Amino acid sequence: MSKLILLRHGQSLWNLENRFTGEMDIDLTDQGEQEAASAGILLKDFCINVAFTSVLKRAIHTLEIVLKEIEGAVPVVRSSALNERNYGDLQGLNKSDVTKIYGIAKVLLWRRSFRTRPPGGESLKDTFERVVPFYQKEILPLLKQGKTILIVAHGNSLRALTMYLENLSEPEVSMLNIATGIPRVYDFSVDMHLTGTVYL
């Protein structure tokens, strides 16, 4: 039986500062490092065969801390397909300041809807259309071999993948929040039916 573990990176500096981060390459806070270490401790009993991450340092750093905790020599694959969604003109801006300018309804639409793009950026649908094909091509074949796979990525790239894995509707995914540093484990049968999910 194969397992897929999804992990959002630990708290980043711009998470702490309430900024739109997107594809900006921002590192972890001290708390983010602690969250990554705690996730690693929770994953000690899993025999992880391959780990995937984005090319952004907050995800890479999180994975490095996790692998140090589990003390395993795990092959790592980095891909920009797993990057956070691009927030375009909003990247680097404080979310509260943006809300004052555009109003909460518009900002919520940009942040939570499936199809609406922020100015100059990606929608969750755009993110879905790069994350899911990468999963199908690079990760699903490993799961079919019975492997245990860890993906360390970002709030929106993991929302997109979760939508696919759990067959969520657009309204359902708009309500989905993925916390930093909390592993979610998916169990699959030999014929790749989802048999269970759990947060550690």
Q: Is 9 a catalytic residue?
A: yes
Catalytic residue among 9, 23, 64, 122: 9
- pLDDT score at 45: 93
Q: Is 84 a catalytic residue?
A: yes
How much of the chain exceeds pLDDT 70, in percent? 100
Burial degree of 168 (CB within 10 A; 0-12, 13-18, 19+): middle
Catalytic residue among 33, 35, 64, 84: 84
- pLDDT score at 73: 87
Please report how the helices 95-102 and 104-112 are oriented relative to each other, as an axis angle in degrees rounded to 10: 120
Q: Which CATH architecture has domain 2-188?
A: 3-Layer(aba) Sandwich (3.40)
Please report how the helices 57-70 and 30-42 are oriented relative to each other, as an axis angle in degrees rounded to 10: 40
- pLDDT score at 23: 96
Burial degree of 196 (CB within 10 A; 0-12, 13-18, 19+): exposed
**How confident is the prediction for the chain on average, in pLDDT?**
97
pLDDT in tens, 168-197: 999 999 999 999 999 999 999 988 999 999
pLDDT in tens, 60-95: 999 999 999 998 789 999 999 999 999 999 999 999
pLDDT in tens, 132-181: 999 999 999 999 999 999 999 999 999 999 999 999 999 999 999 999 99
- pLDDT score at 1: 84
